[in-house]
Amino acid sequence: MVRRGILGDVEKAIVLVSKERGRGVLVEGSLIITAAHCINYSMNGQIVLGDFYIENTRTVKGKLKAAPLAVEPVSDIAVLRSLDSQKFIDDAERFEQFYECTKPLPICTKEFPLFKRFPVYIYNTKGNG
C-alpha cells in the first residue's frame, strides 16, 4: 500500500542507517539528517587524503551509500551527503537519483519565534507519531 500525502512523503524520505538500526531523513540540499550515534564515524581527528567514511543505508528504493558531511556528537546530530562523484561514480549517481525521485522533507514548515516552545512531530515508518 502506497500512502499519499505527508505520510507517504515521510515514508519515502526515511533512510535506515547501518549502525544501531538508526533512521535518518532526506532534507533539502540533497542531505540526510540522522543521529550522530547511528553512524560509524571516528572522531580521532586524523584525516588522510583518500580516506573516506562510508555509511551503508537503505531506502524504500534500495541500498544507498552516503558520507558524513558534519557530525556533532554533543547534540547527537549528523548530516550525510552523497559520496565523492569522481571517486564513487555509481554510488553518487544512485544518491542523486534517490534525491530526484523523493520529495525532501522540510526541517520547518513555518516561521517560529526563537526561544519559545513549539510542537515537533516525528513519524516512524508506520506513520505513527
Q: What is the mean pLDDT of residues 87-95?
A: 93
Q: What integer pLDDT is reported at residue 106 of this predicted model?
A: 81
Does residue 87 lie within any of the structural domains?
A: yes
**Rounded Cα gap, residues 42 and 91, in angstroms:** 22
Full residue range of the structural domain in which residue 31 is found: 5-101
Q: What integer pLDDT is reported at residue 120 of this predicted model?
A: 67
Q: What integer pLDDT is reported at residue 42 of this predicted model?
A: 66
Does residue 119 lie within any of the structural domains?
A: no
Does residue 40 lie within any of the structural domains?
A: yes
- Element spanning 83, H or E: none
Does residue 58 lie within any of the structural domains?
A: yes
Closest CA to 127 of 36, 32, 4: 4
Place of cell 550525510: 80
Q: What's the CATH code of the domain at 76? A: 2.40.10.10
How many structural domains is the chain composed of? 1
Does residue 108 lie within any of the structural domains?
A: no
Least confident of 8-12, 15-19, 102-106, 120-124: 120-124
Q: Is the pTM of this model over 0.75?
A: yes
Q: What is the DSSP letter of 109?
A: S
Q: What is the mean pLDDT of residues 13-29?
A: 85
Does residue 126 lie within any of the structural domains?
A: no
